[in-house]
């Protein structure tokens, strides 16, 4: 909870906790009818979780300890309630991993590549729009100011939140496998592209109206706006797939129907 409060890129973790609780509550009728029985294989998973936890405490790695906590929780469900309960609660339990912050090294690596992506393609778009800009690593040199695409501007917070929320939507909505895979890809593509649009827009405004735009409400609200825009685009794509017919009439069905006797009307 301290990490959720202090680090923006994992602030969605508290939502993951409540979403997982809702998914379990939504299965309450199913769980009432499931048989309860001990599953000895759960003891193996329990031992594995405890071992990983001890290793994490020994090396002082919070990420390992937190993963061990969830592995142990899943092991207790399997060991004390049985395979039927474990199968029914598998997704809500696995989904809890989205509330665990990734190691700092992984965060910095992902953030670095997002920043470089934004700087590179923002430069192309600005130059194509006749705005003079020179890129130096993650720095954008405009005639009146030099803009730095910092970690907070990389869009990593929106990316992690979008993936965590989008996975639930993909899980709940009945879609074909290919559509689900495309939607999962959308949880990454949409926040990355909308954040790139945000950087291009801010850079253009700074070029035309000066550095004062960096202190404007538009700059501070742009991060929230781009995240909401990515959510809207994602849901629109999901609704498109959901409303698109998944079954098509084959030519053989048409031939069979043509062979049916026609009813005569006297």
| pLDDT tens per residue across span 181-210 | 999 999 999 999 999 999 999 888 888 888
Q: Across the chain, what does the average pLDDT equal?
A: 86
CA quadruple 175, 21, 158, 216: dihedral sign: positive
Do residue 33 and residue 158 come from a single domain?
no
d(CA 8, CA 101): 11
More confident residue, 26 or 258: 26
Could you say which of 53, 73, 99 is where a domain stops?
A: 99
Do residue 235 and residue 144 come from a single domain?
yes
End-to-end CA distance of the chain: give it in Å, rounded.
77
DSSP label at 199?
H
- DSSP 3-state of 135: strand
Question: Which residue's structure tokens are 């609780």?
Answer: 21
Ranges of H-type helices in 89-176: 90-95, 104-128, 156-172
d(CA 50, CA 30): 30
Tell me which H or E stretch contains 139. Answer: strand 139-141
d(CA 112, CA 119): 11
| pLDDT tens per residue across span 202-250 | 888 888 888 877 777 776 777 788 889 999 999 999 999 888 765 543 4
Predicted local confidence at residue 4, as pLDDT:
86
- pTM of the complete model: 0.81
Do residue 181 and residue 68 come from a single domain?
no
Do residue 94 and residue 131 come from a single domain?
no
Number of domains forming the structure of the chain = 2
Do residue 200 and residue 92 come from a single domain?
no
> Is 263 part of a structural domain of the chain?
no
Do residue 183 and residue 110 come from a single domain?
yes
Structural domain for 115, as ranges: 104-243
């Amino acid at each position: 909870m301290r990490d959720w409060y202090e680090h923006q890129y994992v602030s969605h973790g508290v939502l993951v906790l409540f979403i997982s609780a809702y998914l379990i509550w939504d299965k309450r009728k199913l769980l009432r009818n499931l048989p309860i029985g001990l599953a000895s294989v759960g003891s193996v998973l329990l031992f594995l979780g405890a071992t990983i936890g001890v290793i994490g405490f020994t090396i002082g790695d919070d990420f390992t300890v937190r993963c061990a906590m969830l592995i142990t929780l899943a092991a207790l469900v399997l060991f004390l309630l049985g395979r039927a309960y474990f199968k029914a609660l598998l997704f809500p339990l696995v989904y809890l991993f989205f509330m665990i912050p990734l190691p700092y090294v992984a965060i910095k690596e992902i953030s670095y590549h997002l920043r470089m992506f934004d700087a590179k393609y923002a430069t192309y778009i600005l130059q194509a729009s006749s705005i003079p800009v020179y890129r130096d690593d993650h720095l954008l040199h405009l005639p009146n100011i030099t803009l730095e695409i910092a970690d907070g501007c990389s869009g990593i917070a929106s990316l992690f939140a979008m993936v965590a929320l989008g996975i639930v939507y993909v899980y709940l909505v009945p879609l074909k496998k290919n559509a689900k895979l495309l939607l999962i890809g959308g949880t990454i593509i949409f926040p990355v592209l909308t954040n790139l649009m945000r950087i291009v827009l801010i850079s253009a405004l700074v070029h035309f109206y000066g550095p004062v735009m960096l202190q404007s409400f538009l700059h501070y609200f742009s991060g929230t706006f781009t995240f909401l825009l990515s959510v809207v685009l994602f849901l629109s794509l999901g609704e498109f797939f959901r409303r698109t017919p998944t079954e098509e009439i084959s030519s053989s069905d048409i031939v069979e129907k043509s062979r049916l006797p026609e009813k005569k009307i006297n």
